[in-house]
Structure 1
């Protein structure tokens, strides 16, 4: 099968469906499509209207560009990596906050002892 934009769209839709652990029947039902019609979209046989692409994007909670981009999977992986990196930053900041809270408590205790 040739590598066409329709094939890339179909691959991206299939990847999103599989990520959600849905069968083609489940995805087709959610989109109010027949299973054969949905299968043809995934195989790159049938072209989607923009309205249908928006409906699919909404179903999978992704931007339309992620579906139509040949780099859709790479984009999703980059986003996942960025989220993981940001989670690490947040975790480090939370640890710093805890350290500063401990230090603040120690200083208050020290002040209380000095006043006695």
Structure 2
């Protein structure tokens, strides 16, 4: 059951969803969903169907062990890319400030007719 919980966690992370968001969609508490992800709670067929639908999977795809290897934990890569994106955004802001300053300087230095 721990493998299934790990798979559910990785699927959730792939979607970029928090435990709170998934718990709300499944109509369970956050601690109850956390127990599903950690494998503490055994899931009944009804709950497995609900989770499979949430992630657009068939029940077989959800419980199949072979799919577990295909799901990768991209959380570190996503964090790294988010930091790089923020750095680029900061660079763009600085360049825009320089352009505005240069434009203002140009207006000041240009004689009016």
Partner of 1:54: 49
The 2-side partners of 1:47 and 1:27 are apart by 17
1:66–1:76 Cα contact (<8 Å) kept: no
Asked if the contact 2:19/2:34 (under 8 Å) is kept, the reply is yes
What is the rounded CA distance, in whole Å, between the counterparts of 2:5 and 2:67 in structure 1?
11
Unmatched segments (≥5 aa) in structure 1: 1-5, 78-116
CA contact 1:24–1:39 (8 Å) conserved in 2: yes
TM-score (norm 2): 0.59
The reply to whether residue 35 of structure 1 matches residue 49 of structure 2 is no
Alignment partner of 2:19 out of 21, 24, 27 = 24
Partner of 1:107: none
- Can you list the C-alpha shifts for 1:31-83, whole angstroms capped at 9, x where unaligned? 00100000000000000110000000001001112221222223558xxxxxx
- How many residues are treated as equivalent by the alignment? 72
- Paired position in structure 1 for 2:39: 44
Listed as ranges, the matches of 1:1-116 within 5 Å are 6-75=1-70
| C-alpha distance in 1 between matches for 2:53 and 2:18 | 18
- In the TM superposition, structure 1's runs of 4+ consecutive aligned residues that sit over 6 Å from their partners are none
